């Protein structure tokens, strides 16, 4: 047993010396190609075996013939090992370069396509991750383009909507200043109306900016949907009477929710105003609230005649106002965008779909915990 231990000790010392040398070489070439590292690893493996054999041979005083035989065998193994390491290294490096070229394409605005041919499991996994990243990047670019287009439309519409009342205010102010206004009181009432309209528009822009910036602070409290809907119907009543529209809120369950009452009143108010303005005279706007498996569904159904299918995905986009035939003179297309922002801040979601004779806007909110 002592001879075996001694042989193992001599072999370990010789192999360890080779391994330390190999580790030093690997550290020096750590920034080089993978081919060089694989070659060093193969050389270390064969060298460690040779060093251990030589150490044992010297200790055991093997004959020169036996030593030459062992050395020749190890040398042939070294040649085969180094050749295999070089081939493997060049193959892996080639596949890595192909993968790098493919990855460069989606970084420049294209899409990623994994190179053909077999690869290692690690490179194959990397290809899948790059493909997934490319898909997410394409979606992000598409959202950015849509957001930029929406931003341009919003700026154009806001500029137009601001220019019109400002021009009217200037004309009325000049008429009052020059004393040529036939009915000054009517001019003053009109000025007040236009100023309130501008104030509402600025308020909507401020609210939307807080939503987009993520700074919308919510003060939640436990509220019954029945009370929430009642307050909203009372606030929208005068506008409905002015347009000759009936407001109906018969199907409202008294389900409790944890929401910011002020912000949710704004949501319902925007939906009701939007519905009333787009419903013809003698039409009906119905509000309903009921418990559903995924929360509480609060809905507003109007008689607008429906929305074109291609426009449905854009209804809640900033600045969207639909076709000119359905767009009233007032409004900058911010109301529904504000609705979606406030609802999502409550961990809910907003949706719209066409129904017979009109469309139905739905707000889904989580149920208050018992």
Q: What is the pLDDT of residue 109?
A: 60
pLDDT in tens, 53-81: 777 666 665 566 666 776 777 677 767 77
- Alpha carbons 56 and 214: distance in angstroms, whole number: 73
Q: What is the mean pLDDT of residues 96-118?
A: 67
- For the stretch 236-274, pLDDT in tens is 888 899 899 999 888 888 888 888 888 888 899 889 988
Contact 307, 354 (CB under 8 A): yes
pLDDT reading at 195 higher than 80: yes
329, burial (CB in 10 Å: exposed 0-12, middle 13-18, buried 19+): exposed
Predicted pLDDT of residue 330: 45
Calculate mean pLDDT across residues 112-118: 66
- Averaged over 113-123, what is the pLDDT? 66
Average pLDDT over the chain reads: 78
Edge-to-edge order in the sheet of strand 349-355: 246-252, 284-292, 295-301, 358-365, 349-355
Average pLDDT over residues 89-104: 72
Contact of 269 with 300, CB cutoff 8 Å: no
Does the pLDDT at position 115 exceed 80?
no
Q: What is the C-alpha to C-alpha distance for residues 150 and 133, in angstroms, rounded to an integer?
A: 25
Share of the chain above pLDDT 90, in %: 7
Q: How far is Cα 267 from Cα 343, in angstroms, rounded to an integer?
A: 8
Structure tokens at 154: 């919003």
Confidence at residue 285, expressed as pLDDT on a 0 to 100 scale: 92
Instruction: Report the half-sphere exposure of 124 (CA within 13 A, side-chain side).
Output: 6
Q: Is the pLDDT of residue 10 over 70?
A: no
Judging by beta carbons within 10 Å of its beta carbon (0-12, 13-18, 19+), is residue 187 exposed, middle or buried? middle
Alpha helices in the chain (DSSP H): 2-28, 34-60, 64-107, 121-178, 184-213, 225-243, 261-278, 335-345
Identify the pLDDT of residue 327.
41
Query: Closest Cα to residue 288, out of 193, 216, 364?
Result: 364
State how far the Cα of 216 lies from the Cα of 209, in Å rounded to an integer. 9
- Could you report the per-residue pLDDT of 160-190, keeping only the tens digit for each? 777 777 888 888 888 888 887 778 888 888 8
For 264-282, what is each residue's pLDDT tens digit?
888 998 899 889 988 998 8
CB of 303 closer than 8 Å to CB of 279:
yes
Q: Are 256 and 222 in contact (CB under 8 A)?
A: yes
Q: CB–CB of 300/285 below 8 Å?
A: yes
């Amino acid at each position: 047993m002592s001879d075996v231990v001694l042989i193992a000790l001599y072999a370990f010392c010789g192999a360890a010396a080779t391994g330390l040398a190999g580790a030093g070489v690997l550290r020096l070439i750590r920034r080089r190609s993978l081919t060089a590292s694989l070659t060093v690893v193969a050389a270390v493996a064969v060298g460690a075996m040779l060093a251990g054999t030589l150490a044992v041979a010297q200790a055991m005083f093997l004959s020169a013939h036996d030593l030459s035989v062992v050395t020749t065998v190890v040398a042939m193994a070294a040649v085969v090992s180094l050749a295999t390491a070089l081939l493997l290294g060049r193959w892996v490096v080639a596949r890595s370069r192909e993968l790098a070229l493919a990855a460069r394409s989606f970084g420049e605005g294209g899409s990623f396509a994994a190179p053909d041919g077999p690869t290692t499991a690690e490179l194959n996994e990397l290809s899948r991750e790059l493909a997934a990243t490319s898909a997410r990047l394409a979606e992000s670019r598409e959202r950015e383009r849509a957001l930029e287009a929406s931003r341009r439309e919003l700026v154009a519409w806001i500029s137009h909507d601001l220019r019109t009342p400002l021009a009217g205010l200037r004309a009325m102010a000049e008429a009052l200043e020059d004393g040529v206004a036939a009915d000054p009181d009517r001019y003053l009432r009109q000025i007040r109306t236009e100023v309130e309209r501008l104030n509402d528009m600025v308020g909507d822009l401020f609210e939307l900016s807080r939503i987009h910036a993520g700074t919308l602070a919510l003060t939640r409290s436990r509220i019954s949907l029945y009370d929430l809907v009642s307050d909203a119907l009372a606030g929208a009543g005068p506008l409905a009477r002015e347009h000759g529209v009936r407001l109906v809120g018969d199907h409202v369950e008294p389900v409790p929710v944890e929401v910011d009452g002020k912000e949710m009143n704004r949501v319902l108010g925007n939906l009701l105003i939007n519905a009333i303005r787009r419903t013809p005279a003698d039409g009906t706007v119905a509000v309903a609230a009921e418990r559903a498996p995924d929360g509480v569904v609060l809905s507003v159904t109007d008689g607008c005649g429906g929305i074109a299918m291609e426009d449905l995905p854009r209804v809640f986009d900033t600045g969207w106002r639909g076709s000119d035939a359905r767009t009233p003179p007032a409004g900058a297309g911010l109301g529904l965008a504000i609705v979606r922002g406030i609802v999502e801040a409550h961990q809910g979601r907003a949706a719209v779909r066409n129904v017979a004779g009109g469309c139905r806007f739905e707000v889904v909110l989580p149920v208050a915990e018992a």
